Structures are given as C-alpha cells and as structure tokens.
Amino acid sequence: MKAAYDRAHKIFEDGNGYARTRELTAGGVHTSQIRELQDEGYIYKIKRGLYQWSDYVIESNQELVEVSKIVPNGVICLLSALSYHGLTTHQPRENYVAIHRDATRHTLPDYPPIRLFYFSDSQYRVGITETTLSGHQVKIYDAEKTLCDVVRYRNKIGQDIVRESLKEYFDQPNVNVEKLMDYARKTGVFSIISQYMEVLP
C-alpha cells in the first residue's frame, strides 16, 4: 500500500490536490487501491471519478475550484461571479454556473451546491475570463458580463441586488462603460441597463 500511496500522492500533488480516476489508474494506482485510500481517509470523492487529497491546503475560493472540476465546461456566473468581483454583499448559498445549452447535462453531487443556467451561444461566449485559484484555472465571467447577466435574470436575482451591484461597479475606479454597454447590446439588455444607470444615485 505504501507504493500506491506514494504514487497517488504524487499524482494529487501534480494536480494541485485533485485527481480523476483515469489519472490515478494511468499512474499505476488500481481502483481497489483508490477505494482503500478513500476508506483510510487520505482522499475523498467529490463526485464519481473525481477525488481530492484530504489534507491538501487550498488557500481560498475552494468551492469555486471544486465546482470548476465538477463542471469543467461551466463558467462561474451571476451571484457567484458578483461575489467574486466584490460587487455584492449578498453571499450566495449556491454556486451559480453557466453552461452552453447544447452541452452534455451533468450529474451533480449534493455538495458543493451548484445551480446550473443554460445559456444560448451568444449569451454563453461573451465575457469569459480565466483566473488562477490555488494553481487551478477557473472560468468566470468578467464584471461587465456578470452585470448584464444579473440584469437579464433580475426577476430571479432580485432588483435590490441588481441595483447594489451596478452601484458598486460604478463606484470603482476601473469602470469600463464602453465594454459594459457593448456586452449589453450583445446580450439584449442595453435598454434595461440604460434605465438603471439613469436612476443610480
């Protein structure tokens, strides 16, 4: 078991704390040894085929990293992206993730809680950025695209959160109104965002 532990530990180190079953078996760790590592508490299953090393320290935003592993073709969006960009005081109870409406449907674990939103091609592709969290690449919409999305979903998100996020955005020094309005045109919310901007304090 010592040899399997060492091989597994190296694979998890290379993956910044995460590994998939296919990576472990390709690295010489048998499926029975994976189960044994799990039974002994060295690893835990995030979902079928995806594991995390139990004592691997992830500095911040651990759930966003886990979510990006669970939904690799997803993009952090809406309230989760607002929170990441510091545009709301509201702490979402779920992780909001956008996926392309034609993408394969995902089977989600009970934890972390994930809420999927199926975006059309034009809605999905605009404003995707990649950020590095604890050595992992996580796709997330930039601030301007996130604002367009919360305006589009304002009846689900809540008008108070929409107003708060827009006010927070315009209070920042690095406002890019040209980008915001370009995204607003592309996503079909130009007139609505214009109306919000007219009444902001």
What are 190's two structure tokens?
Answer: 């130009």
Amino acid at 90: H
Query: What pLDDT was estimated at residue 174?
Result: 84
Q: What's the mean per-residue pLDDT of the chain?
A: 87
Give the global pTM.
Answer: 0.74
Query: What pLDDT was estimated at residue 12?
Result: 75
The backbone torsions φ and ψ at residue 143, rounded to the nearest 5 degrees and listed phi first, read -60, -40
Domain ranges of the chain: 2-53, 62-199
Task: Grade residue 95 by pLDDT with cuts at 50, 70 and 90.
Answer: very high
Residue 201 has pLDDT above 70, yes or no: no
Instruction: Identify the three-state secondary structure at position 100.
Output: strand
Amino acid at 127: G
Which CA distances in Å does 175 have to 49, 89, 148, 170? 42, 19, 14, 6
Architecture in CATH for domain 62-199 = 2-Layer Sandwich (3.30)
What are 141's two structure tokens?
Answer: 């919409």
Query: What pLDDT was estimated at residue 6?
Result: 78
Task: Grade residue 57 by pLDDT with cuts at 50, 70 and 90.
Answer: low
How many Cα atoms are found within 13 Å in the side-chain-facing hemisphere of 133?
Answer: 20
